[in-house]
Each structure stands twice: as structure tokens, then as C-alpha cells.
Amino acid sequence: MSRIVIQQLCFNRVNYLNALKAINITQYRYKADRFGHTFAFIQEGAEIRELPLIVRNVCSNEICCNEECTGTGETEINNDELVNKLNNLKNETDRKKADEEIVDVIRGFKKCSSVKSLVDLLEIVMLDEITPAVALCALKKIVELENFKFHVATNKLSSFLDTKPNIDYTKTPILEKLLEIIMKGDNNSAVVGTLELIPIDRVRVLPLDTFKNKISEEILCRVTENKLNIDNLCRSIDAFSKLNEVKTADQLWIGIMEKSDQINEKNVIQVFRILHLLKKSRKTIMNLLERRLKHFWHHLCTNDLIEMLYIIRLTKSNSNIILKTISRWINTNIHTMSENNLTSIVNELNNSNYVDIGIVRALERYIKAKHSTINSPLLMVEIMNYCSKFNVRSENIFEGCAKYIIQFGSNITPSQFRDLFWPFGQLNYKPKSALEFWIKVESIMNKEFHNLKTHETIDILLSCVYLEKQPLNFVHRVFNTSFLHNLYDGGGNNNYTKTKLKIIDQCMTLECDHYRGPVLPRDKFAKSIWCDYRIKRLLKEINSTLENTFQGYKISYSTILSQLPLMSIYIIDALVHPVKFELNSRYINFKKHPGLCTVILVHLPEHYCWEKEHLTGIETTRIRHFRKIGLNVMSINYKKILELKYPAELTEYINNSYKSMLAPC
């Protein structure tokens, strides 16, 4: 097996078939089989891939000679001109008559209820006068009739019908003659259609080895001759895959590349559908689609867009270029989509883990314009799930959702209410129409509390405390033996659930005067808590700057306070306190010395919402609780620190953060 290196800087400027012709001529010494296989190293930009190629093995006397060697060039040209003139002189009425006869024959085949009647009709028509389209129709009807008998037999009706074929197809020349007609004809669609018959022939009416080998070779031959169009190539790849000929299907990429100019808005989805059937050549075809979509993306329809997103997720291609093109389409056409289609698109984007400014702006416009006329709660749920997953804190979307809850909250299911309400607390967004919003939320909670799942109830209460709304009327229903028993019996991540309950308990203890807590017992045993090493590394790098800023004070790192539960959110990244303390800083009552100590918190990129301006609900709650117990809080943006290049810039940033901490809120 040989390997060939093809340097390619731009796919559109390289004729692959010219390279194949050169390969075919140099491979004439391999006469054992009609086709051979080789590999080519294809370079596209910085990427180099090894792709399979088809090699036609030809004898020396099959190699076409040029006109200088034979001297017959002028004769061939003259003959072609004569043939063209004769074709032009044919009577149009004869052509129409022939077409009508073909249609009549095909109609006759479709009316046949048995194979015997179909064979009799073939004898009347005369096999020599049958076209490839008619031959394919005859093969389809034979396969359909025999497989129908098999289907009936499997349903225990074999006593009424004889399941054995009436004709011994291995001895009769009918099938072979029909196959020969198809292969000798110029109808490429008929050749591919014959290949598609083989996987659906469960009775094996068609001789598997004969048909499969001959049709496969014929298709490969026509691919090397650049005769198949995009539709036929995609159908061939699909048929080869159904026959478990994955390697053969992978070799047809060369035909798609050569016919790339034929890819348009009408057939692009066919090329997408065969991506999951390819292996080595999938990335090459995906790059081709990225280039082609730029020319006709505005002509795509919604269903094609949904299917593209599904296929990208199915193949794990993660093509940012295609996703950006889809985002551009959504931003342009979002108001023309139905609610069901938009729901499907947002769901696929959510599953594909893709978000960009174009999609967010499009959803903002849609919600702002239609929040009061949306009939499907599933659409609002998908949009809010999208915001929750990617921390998109959009005022237009959240205000539209708040108005939707106020208007239609009584008509949604408890699970849908949880999905709509949870992002408000998660991303720390307080609606402008607060009074109506919270009255509606309390009404829904009173009505649907017993219909909510235990983890949904906890999420709703946690969202409330993030927004500084203490659900005093519902907490006693959660912290009781019956609810907790149902919670832990339901399975799931118990440690994560316990953490949520502790946060709710701590929030109510610190922020609600009428709450007698904490209710949950404190941890009395040592346990390991996960800490992000990025924070430790950053604090180590800026340690000298912090010491210069807080001269006369001591800085302790990764400090745990006795006043707060032992959880990762209550671990202090750096605690600035006086050098001489009578008691250990972790046990001191900070409320007696308000403002004496300062907490330094390093906020990682995931602590912010998508626009990188607002902190998430859990981080704002963390800051609020440290202030409640009498500590100053200085926040440091991890990403901004990394962007600073000079020590003077770092010192200025730390000083500004310190001044912001001292400034009144």
C-alpha cells in the first residue's frame, strides 16, 4: 500500500481528480483487482490529515494515449460533431413517445401483485429495450414483493401464503440482465438506487455477492470519473454504511470535494446527514461545509438549521464557524420562527454548549417583543435554562420572564416554575416589578408546594435567600423529618443537597431576625475541602503588594471561621488582621470589632455572569455574609490581575480595590 502526499493550501484551487488520474496511471502494475487503495496526506492550513483514496488498477493497453501518439484527434472531433448533428435531427415526437412508453411500463410494474406477473411483463417489453430507470423499478418491485411475503410469514400467516420464491433467482438470468442494463446505462441515480436495494433485501432475493461487488465497483469507477453528483454521493455513502462498508464510504470524500460547487441551500443538509457515517474524512467535509455555508446561509430554512445543530452535537464536531453562521441566521430571522422551532433551536444550542452575543441579543429582542404573547411555557423554560447554563444575566430576558410568571404563573407546572425562577437567584437578578413578582411567587409556592419535588423545593428556597428574600413561611416545611426523609430516599447527590440546605439555614440565621437557627448541626469531624489552586498561586504572586498595602497587619491565607459552616464558600482566601491579637482570629467575635479585619476574595471568571460585570448569586451571598459578621470585604478580579504587566499597575489596582472597599455602599 502506497502513501501519497498532496500539498493543499486551498481546497478550491486543487483538482483532486487530476491527482487521481496520475495515481491511476502509475498503478497499472497491480492487475489482480480492479481497484486498489492508497492514502494521501492532505494539508489544509496548519492541519495535516491522512485520507483514503480510490486507485483504479489499469493495464498498459488501457492507458489513454494523447493525440500526438495516435494522430486520431481530428477524426474523433469530426465524429463527435457528426453525432451531435444526428442527435439534433431526431424527431421530438419520437422522444416524447419513448418517454410515455417508459412511464407506462413503470406503471405496469407498480400494478403487479406477484413476481410471476412482473416477469411476464418483462418478457413482453423485451429486456433489450428496457432503460436503467425501468430496470431499477423492476428490481425494486421484485424485492418489495418477496420481502412482503417474508414479512407476512413472520406474522404467523405463512399458512395462507407460500413464502418460498416462485422463481429460482440464482439460475435465471433476469436479475443479472437487469443489473447489466443499469450498469451500462448513463443513469447514475439508478446505479445508486440498486446499491440502496441491497440493505433492505432481507430475503436475499438479489444475489448478495454478485450485486454488492459489481455495483460497488461501478460506483467507485464513476466516482473516479467524476460522474456522480452530490445527491448520488450522499446516497452512496449512506448505502455503504448500511452494508457495514465504512472504509468504502470514507473513500467517497474525493467526489464530494470535486463537486463542492454543487452544494447549495437545497442539498447542504444531505451532506450534513452523512457526516456521522464518515470517520477519517469527516473533518475535511466539515471544513468544506464551513466554506460553502458562507455563500447561502441566509437561504436556509428553520428545520435545516435544527438538524444541523443536532448533527454537530451528534458528531462532536464543535465547528465554531458553522455555529457562528447559525448564530447570524438566528439573529436575522428569529421573529419569523414558530415557538416550537425556536424551542428546538435553543435546546440544541444548550446541548451544544454554545453561546455568543448574537444569540443573546436575538433572544433579548424576542422576549422584549413577545413575552406577553408566548403560548408555550416550554419556550420560556428553554430560554431560562440557556441563561442558567451560561450565566447570561440579561435584563430584557429576566424582566420578560418576570412578567411572564406574573401573567401565566398559575398555568405552568411546578417543574416549569422551578426552571423559570431558579436563574433569578443563581444570577442575582431582582425584578423591577418586585411586589407583584413576589406575591405571585408566594402564591404559587403555597398552591404547589406538595407537588414540587424535594430538590426543586430546595432550589426555589435557595434562590429566594440569594435574593435576600427569607422564605420564613416555608422553611419549617423543609427542616422537618418527613421532608428530609423523602429527600434522602430520593437519591441523587446527597452532599450537594446538604450544602444547599446549610446555605439556606445559614442565610436565614444571619439575615432573618425571626428565624431561630441554625437548625442543622455543625460538622464536628475533620474533613477535606476542595480549594482552587489558581487562587493560591495568584495570592502567592501578589503577596508582597498586599503586604505593602496593609502595613502593620498580618495576612493569613485559606482561613476558616468558627461563626460560619465548614463549606468551601466560607473559606476566606486571605484574612487581614492586626499582628497582635489576644485570641486566635478564627475564634474572635468580629461583631464586637466591626471593620477591624478585612477579607480578601479572589473572584475567578466562573464567579461572574456571562457579561463579566455582575457576580453570581452565591458569590454575592458570600460577600454579604462576611459583612454581616463584621468583616470588611475586598474583591479582586482574577482575570484583571493576570492582564496587568507591570508592578506599578498591580499596586494601583490593589489600592483602588482597597479604596472601593472603604467607600460607603
- What pLDDT band is residue 521 in, cutting at 50, 70 and 90? confident
What is the residue-averaged pLDDT of the chain?
Answer: 81
> Which secondary-structure segment (H or E) carries 557?
strand 553-559
Please list, in sequence order, all residues whose beta carbon lies within 8 angstroms of the beta carbon of residue 470, skipping any fewer than 6 positions away.
464, 507, 508, 511, 512, 515
Single-letter amino acid code for the residue at 67: E
Q: Name the percent of the chain lying above pLDDT 70.
A: 77
Q: What CA–CA distance (Å, rounded) separates 461 from 421?
A: 10
Task: Characterise 318 by phi-psi region: left (phi > 0), alpha (psi -120 to 50), beta (else).
Answer: left
User: Using only C-alpha atoms, what is the Rg of the chain?
Assistant: 36
Q: Is the pLDDT of residue 82 over 70?
A: no
Q: Please, which residues bridge with residue 56 across strands?
A: 35
Would you state the cell numbers that stand for residue 567, as one nine-digit string? Answer: 463549606
Would you state the cell numbers that stand for residue 175, as one nine-digit string? Answer: 436479475
DSSP state for residue 276 in the 8-state scheme: G
State pLDDT tens for residues 156-172: 444 444 445 544 554 46
Closest CA to 619 of 579, 569, 547: 569
Closest CA to 595 of 661, 513, 543, 665: 661
| Alpha-carbon distances of 628 from 64, 271, 507, 591, 598, rounded to whole Å | 90, 60, 10, 8, 13
Q: Output the pLDDT for position 132.
A: 87
Check residues 215 and 61 and name the one with the higher pLDDT.
215
Q: Output the pLDDT for position 150.
A: 56
Q: Output the pLDDT for position 288.
A: 94
The CB density around residue 75, as the number of other CB atoms within 10 Å, is 11
Task: Characterise 468 by phi-psi region: left (phi > 0), alpha (psi -120 to 50), beta (else).
Answer: left
Q: Output the pLDDT for position 634.
A: 94
Would you state the cell numbers that stand for residue 473, as one nine-digit string? Answer: 413561611
Q: For cell 446538604, what's the residue? A: 498
Closest CA to 345 of 307, 373, 299: 307
Across 311-326, average pLDDT: 91
State pLDDT tens for residues 356-383: 999 999 999 999 999 889 999 999 999 9
> Which secondary-structure segment (H or E) carries 238?
helix 230-242
Across 13-38, average pLDDT: 50
Contacts 24+ apart (CB under 8 A), 180-187: 181/127, 181/130, 181/131, 181/132, 181/135, 182/132, 182/135, 182/136, 182/139, 183/214, 183/215, 183/218, 185/131, 185/132, 185/135, 186/132, 187/131, 187/132, 187/133, 187/136
State pLDDT tens for residues 93-122: 555 544 555 565 666 666 666 666 666 666
* Neighbouring C-alpha atoms within 13 Å toward the C-beta of 634: 22
State pLDDT tens for residues 449-482: 999 998 999 999 999 999 999 999 899 889 888 8
Q: What CA–CA distance (Å, rounded) separates 194 from 328?
A: 41
Would you state the cell numbers that stand for residue 520, as one nine-digit string? Answer: 442543622
Residue 188's SS3 state is: helix
| Alpha-carbon distances of 309 from 170, 319, 323, 331, 539, rounded to whole Å | 46, 10, 8, 16, 42
Q: What CA–CA distance (Å, rounded) separates 287 from 47?
A: 11
Please list, in sequence order, all residues whose beta carbon lies within 8 angstroms of the beta carbon of residue 175, skipping any fewer than 6 positions away.
139, 142, 169, 205, 206, 207, 211
Q: Is the pLDDT of residue 248 over 50?
A: yes
Q: What CA–CA distance (Å, rounded) separates 68 from 65?
A: 8
Q: What CA–CA distance (Å, rounded) separates 608 from 623?
A: 13
- What pLDDT band is residue 595 in, cutting at 50, 70 and 90? confident
Q: Output the pLDDT for position 201.
A: 82
CB 297 within 8 A of CB 325: yes
Q: Is the pLDDT of residue 219 over 90?
A: yes
